[in-house]
């Protein structure tokens, strides 16, 4: 949680680039979207469903935008701030666009998205090959479970085809919370064993 807050807090939201990057990273953290799902999103994919804002998505291996993620106010507000600053966006435009001179206003690519996330991770001192854009998806599912969601709710959020994929996250949380290494420490600390 502290790392996510640090990551989001490190983004300068004054510039258009900062507004875009904050909206992107915030969306990834709060919804667990895959990079391809974010890149495929258009402005018009933000819709109302049962009185709630949702983002229609074209999932991995899908031909149509037949799934969605809920956009809470905390996820939606930065997107609207970015779109307002960007100006002139219509429903058929990409939700997130490039700001570079070579392809300004064209759809952001998955590689560009990955580079932006890596840039901000490095900026807060998280410079590891293991930490990628996809790590934000893992963080989202983990946060979901830590916040008290059921395995089924986390599976729906992550859009995992198999619940076994979601169970890996629950196992890792449980493994850390109930680490037997702590029991060994307690036994050694509390017993008459000579300290090492």
Q: Is 22 exposed, middle or buried (0-12, 13-18, 19+ CB in 10 A)?
A: buried
How far apart are the C-alpha atoms of 116 and 46, rounded to whole Å?
23
CA distances from 137 to 3, 51, 126 (A): 14, 26, 16
CB contact set of 95 (below 8 Å; sequence gap of 6+): 38, 41, 42, 43, 45, 46, 55, 79
Mean pLDDT in consecutive groups of 10 residues from the start of the chain, 196 residues: 95 97 97 94 96 92 89 97 96 96 93 96 94 90 87 85 78 72 79 56
User: Is 65 one of the catalytic residues?
Assistant: no
Task: Tell me what pLDDT residue 192 has.
Answer: 60
Residue for token pair 């495929």: 40
pTM across the whole model: 0.85
Q: Is residue 134 among the annotated active site residues?
A: yes
DSSP-based three-state secondary structure for 15? coil
* Selected catalytic residue, list 34, 40, 116, 159: 34
């Amino acid at each position: 949680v502290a790392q996510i807050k640090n990551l989001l807090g490190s983004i300068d939201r004054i510039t258009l680039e900062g507004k875009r990057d904050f909206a992107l990273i915030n969306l990834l953290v709060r919804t667990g979207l895959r990079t391809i799902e974010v890149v495929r999103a258009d402005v018009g994919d933000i819709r109302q469903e049962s009185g709630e804002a949702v983002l229609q998505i074209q999932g991995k291996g899908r031909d149509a935008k037949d799934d969605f993620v809920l956009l809470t106010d905390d996820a939606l507000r930065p997107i609207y701030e970015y779109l307002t600053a960007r100006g002139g966006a219509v429903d058929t435009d990409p939700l997130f666009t490039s700001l570079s001179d070579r392809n300004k206003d064209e759809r952001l690519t998955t590689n560009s998205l990955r580079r932006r996330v890596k840039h901000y991770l490095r900026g807060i001192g998280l410079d590891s090959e293991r930490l990628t854009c996809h790590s934000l998806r893992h963080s989202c599912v983990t946060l979901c479970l830590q916040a008290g969601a059921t395995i089924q709710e986390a599976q729906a959020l992550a859009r995992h085809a198999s619940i076994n994929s979601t169970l890996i996250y629950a196992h890792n949380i449980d493994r850390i919370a109930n680490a037997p290494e702590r029991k060994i420490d307690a036994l050694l600390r509390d017993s008459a064993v000579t300290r090492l």
